[in-house]
A and B are shown apart, each in its own frame.
Chain A
Amino acid sequence: MQLAIQVAGALAAGGLTLILVRQVVPRGRRAVGAVALVPVATACLVAAPVYRDQIGELLDQREANSTLTARDVRLGNGIGIDADVDFLGWAKGRLAAGETFGLVVENSEDPGSLEQWAFFQLAPYVAAEPSVADWVIFYDVDPEEYAGLGELDVYRPGFAIARSRLGR
């Protein structure tokens, strides 16, 4: 409905312009050309305040950027979804070049988002199914329920890493 009103308004403005221009320009195609004045005038009127607002927004963005720490930049997206970025960093420190990891997440409210972030933070290490990965990372889950693991390295209860027996 809002779109229809806007379109009707633009057409009405064009029609009005045409009527006015026909007072000085002969009827026909030349006069219709005057409707171009509507977008030009609208653009001039609308662009000026938006230009000013956007400049303000860009300067605000610069201000906000100036307060960011290196940690905010590197881990901010994970912190934003309440991921335990310190645990993931700790786990990452245990992986060696070329090794793969599998992530087991159970209790998180949004395991999909957590997985996306964890894989991002753990890059360049490559994710794999936990059953075939070199390492299994347990995120808020009891590792005791999983068999076929090497020695468990616990960060805190529910958060741990273990070498898979299938792994290297």
Chain B
Amino acid sequence: MGADIASFGVDALLALAGLWILVGIGLVPLRGYSMLAALGLAYMTGAALVPVVLIALLTIGIPVTLATFFIVVLACVVAGGFAGRNVRIGASQAPGAWRWLRSWRSWPAETWVVVAFVALFGAYSVIGMIGVYESPLVGWDSWSIWARKAQVLSLHDSLFGGFFTNQSYAFAHLDYPLQYPVWESLHFRAAGTFDIQAVLRHVWLLLVGSIWALAYLLRERVRPVVWAPILLLALTAPGISGQLRDGYADVPMALFACLGVVALGMWIDRQETGLLPLVAIMLAAAANTKNEGMATALAVLVVGGAIVLARNLNVKAYAATSGAVVVALLPWRIWLAAHGIEGDMPVSKGLDPGYLMDRIDRVGPTIAAINGQFADPERWLYLLPLATLVVVACLVSGVGRRVAAFYLGCFLLVWAVFVWSYWISPHDLEWHLGTSVERVVSIPMLVCLAALAHLSGLLLGELRRGPGSEHGAH
């Protein structure tokens, strides 16, 4: 029991760190109910940022212990508090902020939509937690790669050479980044035991936190009647929640990427304060979770950069965001290079026309396999066809056109990068696809989710707009 409380204490501290970072970047005001509403985003921000910092510390030889974790959390709180010191507390709003709860009889229909969402979301979250509370890790990579590394990180305060540079463990993909194992190891350390039956309960929080975070991010641009059913669809999609329960890193990586993509899509829409730092945090976390996350982060930044240049948005701020993501990637990459550890993907050959032509027969089956996953209605619940519809509607009508172009560009570039990765992979294609394609598609499907929720909101907003108004074209 004590171990359980301690490991959930790690989650609470991650949420605390994230909350103050959000205050610092101006995304959350210093008001009780706003901070409560932002708890999901706060948890995801902490779960994204703190491990990125700890990875950097590990690579320069600073011991990572629970004390180090506390110091990083404290640093986030202090930095966030300092940066957000000028955020005004709404003195006139704060005392009456909860008064609306008492007037429930006069709530508008949309408030009831939110109430229904909170009830369904809350019930699902609790039942999900009960369901996974004592589930052991049975997904192969969940124990053989991720928990194994987390165990090493929880037993040693450093990047223990007996493991991380030991080729006997090459099967554990020593080049994979450490976001997920570092996050897991914090829970093991706090619990004081390596218990593979205690991981999924925290992984479940990542799903709950992400859906909650999406609702918070979208709330001002998208009406609840749009985001509530779409986010419930995402919450229950077996491709997301079922896969999450395997304990693999793919869904957590995709959740970080999805939050980064939504934040960037919203910034492209309105350039609000605080969104770009959030983009940097989330994409850095995705990039530090798996190599596919790195490819996705770079693809998203390229597409976003093209739109920033084309529409003459704030290039400096965007460049700083992109730079921050790249800088967050560097410590682990430099450490790998310094220790001569290479992955199994022949990236350097990936642009060699001769190499590519010799393997051209891999392209067709790869596209068929990836698209076959997209079309699986039982796993992905029509996310892609629905996203296609709203993207086409936005592009044709001009409603949120540049936002739609951004999501479309992200999806296509990520899709192309994944096809390319199977194309150049040294592994037997049938085996490689068979063991990974259903997980790899998580990222493009969550890009579809981001597009669907955001663009549907823009479209419905246009429908409700008064006649004659033509605002909103981008």
Point out residues on A near B: beta carbons under 8 Å: 2-3, 6-7, 9-11, 13-14, 21, 25-26, 29-40, 42-44, 46-47, 50-51, 54-55, 57-62, 65-66, 68, 72-74, 76-77, 80, 100, 112, 115-117, 119-120, 123-124, 126-129
Name which residue of chain A comes closest to B245, CB basis: A61
Bound Cα distance A61, B407 (Å):
36
Query: Given that A26-B467, A47-B232 are known contacts, is A7 also in contact with B459, CB under 8 Å in the complex?
Result: no
Interface contact A126-B148, CB-CB below 8 Å? no
Distance in angstroms from A1 CB to nearest chain B CB is 8
Interface contact B462-A32, CB-CB below 8 Å? yes
Interface contact A50-B225, CB-CB below 8 Å? no
The interface residues of chain B, by DSSP majority, are classed as helix
Bound Cα distance A160, B292 (Å):
41
Interface contact B465-A30, CB-CB below 8 Å? yes
- List residues of chain A with CB within 8 A of the CB of B236: 47, 50-51, 54
A50 touches which one: B138, B237, B462 (CB < 8 A)?
Answer: B237
- List residues of chain B with CB within 8 A of the CB of A30: 462-463, 465, 467
Select the residue from A3, A9, A40, A62 with max chain B CB neighbours within 10 A: A40
The interface residues of chain A, by DSSP majority, are classed as helix
Bound Cα distance A42, B122 (Å):
22
Interface mask (B442-474 → A, CB under 8 Å = 1, otherwise 0) = 000000000010011101111111010010110
Query: Given that A54-B124, A65-B135, A112-B171 are known contacts, is A73 also in contact with B197, CB under 8 Å in the complex?
Result: yes
Interface contact B384-A46, CB-CB below 8 Å? no
Interface contact B171-A115, CB-CB below 8 Å? yes
Interface contact A120-B143, CB-CB below 8 Å? yes
- List residues of chain A with CB within 8 A of the CB of B169: 119, 127
Name which residue of chain B comes closest to A39, CB basis: B386
Q: Would you list 9 pairs from A and B whose C-beta atoms are within 8 A, ordered by A residue?
A: A7-B389, A10-B385, A33-B397, A33-B463, A40-B230, A42-B386, A55-B123, A61-B245, A116-B172
Interface contact B374-A43, CB-CB below 8 Å? no
Interface contact A14-B148, CB-CB below 8 Å? no
B168 touches which one: A9, A46, A51, A129 (CB < 8 A)?
Answer: A129
B385 touches which one: A9, A65, A80 (CB < 8 A)?
Answer: A9
| B133 interface residue per 8 A CB criterion | yes
A14 touches which one: B128, B372, B382, B393 (CB < 8 A)?
Answer: B393
- List residues of chain B with CB within 8 A of the CB of A7: 384-385, 388-389
Distance in angstroms from A51 CB to nearest chain B CB is 5
Bound Cα distance A46, B456 (Å):
17
- List residues of chain B with CB within 8 A of the CB of A57: 131, 242
Q: What total count of A-B pairs have CB within 8 Å?
A: 191
Bound Cα distance A115, B168 (Å):
10
Bound Cα distance A7, B382 (Å):
9
Select the residue from B162, B237, B465 with max chain A CB neighbours within 10 A: B162
- List residues of chain A with CB within 8 A of the CB of B375: 2-3, 6
B131-153 contacts to A, CB under 8 A, are 131-138, 140, 143-144, 148, 151-152
- List residues of chain A with CB within 8 A of the CB of B225: 40
| B101 interface residue per 8 A CB criterion | no
Interface contact B461-A33, CB-CB below 8 Å? yes
Select the residue from A32, A38, A72, A123 with max chain B CB neighbours within 10 A: A32
Interface contact B388-A33, CB-CB below 8 Å? no
Select the residue from A26, A31, A65, A115 with max chain B CB neighbours within 10 A: A65
Bound Cα distance A30, B458 (Å):
11
Name which residue of chain A comes closest to B171, CB basis: A116
- List residues of chain B with CB within 8 A of the CB of A80: 138
Number of residues of chain B lying within 8 A (CB) of chain A: 76
Name which residue of chain B comes closest to A45, CB basis: B229
Query: Given that A10-B385, A46-B233, A116-B144 are known contacts, is A29 also in contact with B470, CB under 8 Å in the complex?
Result: yes
Interface contact B133-A65, CB-CB below 8 Å? yes
Query: Given that A10-B385, A32-B393, A51-B120 are known contacts, is A127 also in contact with B155, CB under 8 Å in the complex?
Result: no
Interface contact B459-A35, CB-CB below 8 Å? yes
Extra contacts besides A33-B459, A126-B163, A129-B168 (18): CB < 8 Å: A6-B384, A10-B386, A30-B467, A32-B459, A33-B399, A38-B386, A43-B386, A47-B232, A47-B381, A50-B238, A54-B241, A55-B127, A58-B131, A61-B245, A62-B133, A65-B133, A119-B169, A120-B148
Distance in angstroms from B441 CB to nearest chain A CB is 12
Interface contact A61-B131, CB-CB below 8 Å? yes
Bound Cα distance A35, B467 (Å):
18
- List residues of chain A with CB within 8 A of the CB of B131: 57-62
Bound Cα distance A50, B229 (Å):
12
| B36 interface residue per 8 A CB criterion | no
- List residues of chain A with CB within 8 A of the CB of B229: 40, 43-44, 47
Name which residue of chain B comes closest to A65, CB basis: B134
Name which residue of chain A comes closest to B387, CB basis: A39
- List residues of chain A with CB within 8 A of the CB of B120: 51
Interface contact B166-A13, CB-CB below 8 Å? no
Query: Given that A2-B375, A7-B384, A127-B169 are known contacts, is A73 also in contact with B196, CB under 8 Å in the complex?
Result: yes
Bound Cα distance A30, B130 (Å):
45
| B396 interface residue per 8 A CB criterion | yes
Bound Cα distance A112, B140 (Å):
12
Distance in angstroms from B146 CB to nearest chain A CB is 12
B209-259 contacts to A, CB under 8 A, are 225-226, 229-230, 232-233, 236-238, 241-242, 245
- List residues of chain B with CB within 8 A of the CB of A60: 131
Interface contact B171-A47, CB-CB below 8 Å? no
Interface contact B138-A10, CB-CB below 8 Å? no
Bound Cα distance A124, B238 (Å):
35
| B392 interface residue per 8 A CB criterion | yes
Distance in angstroms from A120 CB to nearest chain B CB is 6
